[in-house]
Amino acid sequence: MRTTTELSPSDLAVDRELADLAGSFRFLLDLTPVDLAEVRQQFEDDGKPPTFRYRELEDDPAIASRRLEEIRVGDVGDPTLASLLMAKHRELRLQLEMLESRGTDSFLALSIELYGTVSQSLLGTAQQILRDVPPPSLEEGPWLDAEAVCKAAQAELDRYRAFAPDLESHVEVREGSTGVMVSNGDVLIAPTCRVPVSRIEALLHHEVGTHVVTHVNGAHQPLHVLASGLAGHDETQEGLAVLAEHLVGGLTPARLRQLAARVVAAHLMVEGVPFTDVHATLVRDGIPHVQAFSTTVRAFRSGGLTKDAVYLRGLVELLDHLAAGGDLGTLLLGKMPLTAAPLVCDLHDRGLLHDPLLRPRYLDDPRARRRLEGLAEVQSPVQLIGEAA
């Protein structure tokens, strides 16, 4: 039985301050080069490691850091909420330090502190995928361009807007973004984006059905940090999004190999392997030349970013969670890491959090529900290939 209690106004005020600060900058967008087309052409011409250019920061990280230190997170009275908000406070401090260190030698150490590095177990899983899942013999096309992807994403948002008319998320084709990404609840599409027709449904469930849906659900909670995400949420978010791709039958061999390649690239980058050698290694592993370049860029951006390891790591951890009898229910309340789910569940059970406003559309598909039930028997991501029927 759920029992209702109330959080103090001062506790809620700390939550609002942290959420407002988290929403004041677009972290990943600020770490992503804006001249990808130019540097790719240069790399093809001379084979030398590229030098990246980044967008100007909208706000001074030093000013944001001072704002952060003024937030009295140590005064939060509710023990469960205090644990979550202190962790978020630490994460925001680290993100702001990374923005200040963008492109410097100190960036990589901060990245490892935030996202971790690649364990031998995860590396082994990635290498198994690249070894056991053969590259596709044909290109994945026909392709959708940025305008077509934008229309598809807008139509997907409109499907959810039927249940949440005040949904504020929007779609835009934006310079400086890569592929398709969600930032602060908005879907950003790079002008150079190309998506295979066969992958568009899975992509929409990844970006909109997971990242936008959990952002919207978090924004409708009394605790606003669930919209921007609790500390460490990226791993579970990306794992959940990749899982959604599988549930709609869209986790292709090429896509799984892409996620494995990201792990290998992150590992090699941390080990000090040069850009050109990382790219060459991925090409030898059967990754297409252009994709190998973008994967290597993602690992080396801003001075070395290990975030790309979280996609496969998050998927593996969710598969383990489901195999142990867990479910996905709490993870739909907002953006959170799997490790924080018991604390969030406690807040929900005490009546401090609402039920989700939106639920992923794939959960209404009988085929997706059957695949979800079958995941308890899956021991390796390789088993997800061929499970789409």
Domain that residue 280 falls in = 117-384
Mean pLDDT of the chain: 94
Q: Does residue 4 surpass a pLDDT of 80?
A: no
Is the residue at 208 inside a domain? yes
Report the domain count for the chain. Answer: 1
Q: Does residue 221 surpass a pLDDT of 90?
A: yes
**What's the pLDDT score for residue 5?**
66
Is the residue at 167 inside a domain? yes
List the alpha helices (DSSP H) in the chain. 9-22, 27-30, 36-46, 61-69, 79-100, 107-115, 120-132, 146-161, 200-206, 213-219, 225-228, 233-247, 253-270, 275-284, 289-300, 309-323, 341-349, 366-374
Q: Is the pTM of this model over 0.75?
A: yes
Residues 6+ apart with CB under 8 A from 250: 198, 199, 201, 202, 203, 205, 388
Is the residue at 259 inside a domain? yes
pLDDT tens track for 99-158: 999 999 999 999 999 999 999 999 999 999 999 999 987 767 799 999 999 999 999 999
Is the residue at 71 inside a domain? no
> Quick one: average pLDDT of 24-51?
92
Q: How far apart are CA 201 and CA 195, in angstroms?
A: 10
Is the residue at 164 inside a domain? yes
Q: How far apart are CA 308 and CA 118, in angstroms?
A: 10
Q: Does residue 172 surpass a pLDDT of 70?
A: yes
Tokens standing for residue 263: 């792990």
User: DSSP readout, 197-220?
Assistant: GGGHHHHHHHIIIIIIHHHHHHHT
Among 246-250, 274-278, 374-378, 382-386, the minimum mean pLDDT is found in: 382-386
Is the residue at 215 inside a domain? yes
Q: How far apart are CA 225 and CA 231, in angstroms?
A: 9
pLDDT tens track for 239-291: 999 999 999 999 999 999 999 999 999 999 999 999 999 999 999 999 999 99
pLDDT tens track for 319-336: 999 999 999 999 999 999
In this prediction, residue 389 has a pLDDT band, given cuts at 50, 70 and 90, of very low
Q: Does residue 1 surpass a pLDDT of 50?
A: no
Cβ atoms of residues 185 and 161 within 8 Å: no
Query: First and final CA of the chain: distance in angstroms?
Result: 39
Cis preceding linkage at 360, omega within 30: no
Tell me which residue has tokens 């704002």.
67
Residues 6+ apart with CB under 8 A from 54: 30, 31, 32, 33, 34, 102, 103, 302
